[in-house]
Structure 1
Amino acid sequence: MKKQNKVMLAAVWLALSGSLSAATVVTVNGVKIDSSDVERRAQNVQTNSNGQVSDGPQLRQYITNELITEQLVVQEAKRLKLDKSDDYKNAEAEALKQIKEKGLDKQPNFKQNWADYQNGLLMMAYANHLIKQKPVTEQQVQAQYNQIKSRYHNTDEVQLGEIVTNKAADAEAAIKELNSKKKFADVAKKYSMSPNTKNQGGIVPDYVSVVDLKDANTLVHQAVSGLSKGQFTKTPLKDGDVNLILYINDKRKISVPEFAKMKEQLTRGMEDEVLSQAIDTLGKNAKIVPAK
């Protein structure tokens, strides 16, 4: 299943609060999604984020989209009578047994939590049903692997350092200090305006493929593709008032693992794509009406 659906299942038993003055946000094939649904999911996300996610229109829209997807899948699962299947009934019975053993059925918000959990089970049942109907074959996985191996054969990946400043004078001063052999981390901490950059000494933890970088950002690709480890851009890249200096902290050849080591991961990814396409089709065929 999609990652967001798995997250929803994992969090479903956290305390969720509803609104006393719920209003319809959108209807999906005649089924209402209320503001109370969005509210309790928003509170849940904020609680789990330890303050990293703040409430606002973007979060509310994201949750609304998730609820629409959930409703589309649940409706389709019921149309296919997956809620009547032995697998679903057994999973539901086992979950309810564990819930009662822990006394969670005595919680005041049990009814809503249980409804959410049942929806999650139905979404999983739909995903399993779909994969059985449209299985990803080993030949398809092998073909996907061959494309990956061909794309990244004899190519590099880099770990970048960044100095970001909105002052052209600071960018020029930073380059001058780098030219005088000062450590990149020290220069980044001195001139970069990004707190995260300062804390990490300007180094981005993850490596990025130079091939992928070409597709994602042509300007950055052109700036770093000819640089070796330890080198940096002699001229700041500009985006409006922002000045960016890039540094190659590390550069190495990409090693594509053998097929056997990637098979499971590739299969899951291709199954997720099958599910995503099916949900897109459900959405195109649905009657989704936002509240006026």
Structure 2
Amino acid sequence: MKKKIIPLLVAGTVLIAGCNQQKTAGTTSTSTATPIEKADAVAVVNGQYISKSALAELEKDIAERSHGQTFPKEKLVEELVQRELLVQDALQKNLDKSPEVIAQLDVARRSILSQAALQDFLKANPVTDTDVKAEYESKVASEKGTEYKARHILVKTEAEAKKIIAQLNKGADFAKLANKYSLDAKESQNGGDLGWFVSTQMVAPFSEALVKLEKGQYTKTPVKTQFGWHIILKEDSRVQTPPPLEAVKEQLMPYLQRQKVQNMLEARRKQAKVEILVPLTEEKPKPETSAPAVTEPAAPPAQPATTGESGEKAAPAGAVKETNPATPAEPKK
């Protein structure tokens, strides 16, 4: 059966794969790794064994890169065989002795060693359950805000919003009006329901109007945002309940690990003798100091800028810089 090169990791990681194969092939004259026994191999290529551990590493790498997707073992073994063929070809051509490859191998080596140092540090200084619990109590459990449950009707103009408010004042059903008029409820037919949310998830004018409402009350005047005009109904509010420790433990662990690593690196940086040998900021070119000879009469003085009613000088046309404020989050739909 004819084998085809599968586009897994060959194109992007052939160099590192070559390094790995030099460690796992075992019987080449350039390898310094322990020779692989036949019982510990998945294949042999021109007398060079490919270890079972290499297959396991490839399976793990692909699972991480493809978010759990798996491939048949036959294809993975063929991938390793093709990598070994490339490595053998490179070694036969003495590519491992070229300055470019040596430089790249050194970069890969340093990267692998730095990761190994981090893993060794975290193994010796693991994040404990006590660390996680302390972080949870100080950062998660202590944060108690207010959640709101609301509906809204969003229309394009203030006049439309006022007509809808007039209907609400006469006892019309809010959800039915939302399904009929709201720009974001006509298709969903959800009655303008926004569910539960914290005030910071909404744009400022919306949140400010919502917080002032009593339970069951709607805004008597339209609320303008960059999305249009809103009528807001506050259905309920409650004290925000923090998630249980077990629900956020997996999120806290990486954060605490990074914190430990950062503290360790800062301490070692202070103890190390470091001299930066390159400028860290670009120097601006110096302006020319020689003035050109004056051959023409001096120009008449510029006219003063026109002063507006406020007494401030008006900027000339085209000089006004338009601001671009950050766009707040759109209300949930």
Structure-2-length-normalised TM-score: 0.40
Greater RCO (Cα-Cα under 8 Å, separation 6 or more): 1
Q: Larger helix proportion, structure 1 or 2?
A: 1
Structure-1-length-normalised TM-score: 0.45
